[in-house]
Amino acid sequence: MSPRYPLPAARHPIADRFLADGQAIREAIERFGCPLHLVFPQVMAENTAALAAVLQRHGVPYDIFYAHKVNASAALLDQACGAGLGVDVTSAAELDRALAAGFGPDRIEATGPKSPAFIERIAALGVTANADDLWELDRLAAAAPTGTRVPVLLRLSGFASPAVPPSRFGIDLADADAALETVRRAPGLDLRGVAFHLDTADPAARVDALTESMAVVAAAHRKGLRPSVVDIGGGFRQRFVEDPEPFQRYARALAAADPGELAWPGHELGLRHSGAAAHKYANHRPATEVLERFLTAEIERRPVAEVLRECMLTLWIEPGKALVDHAGLTLAEVLYRKRAAGRELVVLDLSRNQITPADQEVLLDPVLVDGRGDPPDEGVFLAGRLCLESDLVSRRKVFLDAEPASGDVLAFANTAAYQMDLSASSAGGHPPPPKVAAVLNGDRFTFSADVPDDHQGS
């Protein structure tokens, strides 16, 4: 028997309730099919309240914009709207969905690179534009209807701090003065504030980016502009595991052993050399802690929260994954088991692109629904249904709690953030799994089909 390296996924009590409720699982699959993505709006409500509580405790004027790109779900968008959040949209389609969900234009912010047609819509509606480039500012200025002013944030990048990862987005700090001049001269633009979004959860990086952004706020004031917002974007982490130790142990074994034993040949899962310490799936700390550490970090010996209050700046955050952390899971059926390439395989009725973004991995063990008996000694690789060697749902050898057989269902926990939609395609004629919103009422789950409006009828 070779050593087992299980990586159990943390699960929310609502997901646990669902997975323990055979009748609810059968009902969901019978009505909507399998594979199936489930979303849990109630979990999103909890995540929202937790982040808001941190901001309120620190007395910072704030606004939360749900980064809709994280999941196309209409139910989660409705949940965000009902909770009074704003929304961050990245395309005309997302803008339409946000308006349909009931967000007013003053509750909508547009981020990311924008097409001329999207810019026209933003300007016509008076949605806040988080400008990615000077080109966008010029376009927005030209598109502003006469007598109106489009609210803009300057998305900044090119920070001097080595803690801040380089980014392809935003206006380089070297061009910040030119951007401020453009806004100052354009009658159709209103500088609402400055923004950044970092591809790291490191609070020190965010504090450095804030410090450098505050210099742009000061420069804006010197030009007679009156910015009132600092938007620090998203990037608050998800809590994938209860305990980081199994992940560390796995990464150590991967580094020491022939990775072919623990990972599919030719794949090292990005862990063999880098280790697991900072890996997203190794994280057991909640997003609230990232926010808390940011607000209590010091700029010139004063906590960030105090600095923001004194400068009369409103803090905007744009969380995506932190709001939908644990607010979804994915079910897939086992087609059959086989041995290939000297390894044990479980072939699933699911394609890799429908459960993970292309540049990432499914690393944690799924749960075998209704699994019984002792955990099998051996791990297995999970194969997808496409005629591609690369269509492995898991390139990591996963360790299940029971022996899977044909017709069994595997549940992948915590898939609502980017995993359901970001890379999903209909390759091979397999449409992306349907999505369903599951709500726990008393001790019963109720289900409703959850499709974005622009997918209806397609």
Residues at the site binding ligand PLP, with contacts judged by CB under 6 A:
67, 70, 88, 111, 197, 233-236, 318-322
CA neighbor of 209 nearest in space, from 231, 236, 190: 231
In the bound state, the residue with its beta carbon closest to ligand PLP is 234
Question: Which CB atom, from 381 or from 418, has the smaller least distance to ligand PLP?
Answer: 418
- Nearest-approach distance from CB 253 to ligand PLP, in angstroms: 29
- Looking at the Cβ atoms of 127 and 331, the one nearer to ligand PLP is 127
Contact predicate 133/171, CB 8 Å: yes
Closest approach, Cβ 31 to ligand PLP, in A, equals 30
SS3 content of the chain, % helix, strand, coil (to 5): 35, 20, 45
CB 194 within 8 A of CB 226: no
Q: Which is nearer to ligand PLP, 67 or 332 (CB)?
A: 67
Tell me the closest approach of the beta carbon of residue 234 to ligand PLP, in angstroms. 2
State how far the alpha carbon of 49 is from the alpha carbons of 240, 257, 284, 323, in Å: 19, 44, 19, 9
Q: How far is the CB of 434 from ligand PLP (least distance, A)?
A: 23
Q: Which pair of structure tokens corresponds to residue 403?
A: 């022996």
Distance from C-alpha of 135 to C-alpha of 109, rounded to nearest angstrom: 18
* Amino acid at site 372: R
Please report which helix (H) or strand (E) contains residue 309, including its range. Answer: helix 304-310
The phi, psi pair for 444, rounded to 5°, reads: -125, 140
Judged by CB, which is closer to ligand PLP: 91, or 351? 91
Find the shortest distance in angstroms from Cβ 148 to ligand PLP.
Answer: 25
Q: Is the CB of 233 or the CB of 286 nearer to ligand PLP?
A: 233
Q: What are phi and psi of 116, to 5 degrees?
A: -55, -40
Q: Cβ of residue 112: shortest distance to ligand PLP, in angstroms?
A: 6
- CB nearer to ligand PLP: pick between 254 and 416: 416
Please state, in angstroms and as integers, the Cα–Cα distance from residue 229 to each residue in 47, 122, 384, following that order. 23, 19, 46
Relative to beta strand 343-348, strand 62-67 is unpaired
Minimal distance, residue 239 CB to ligand PLP, in Å: 13
- Residue 132 Cβ vs ligand PLP, minimum distance, rounded to whole Å: 9
Residue 138: exposure state from Cβ atoms within 10 A (0-12, 13-18, ≥19) = middle
Nearer to ligand PLP, 192 or 321 (CB): 321
For residues 131 and 322, which CB has a smaller minimum distance to ligand PLP in the complex?
322
Q: How far apart are the first and last CA of the chain?
A: 50
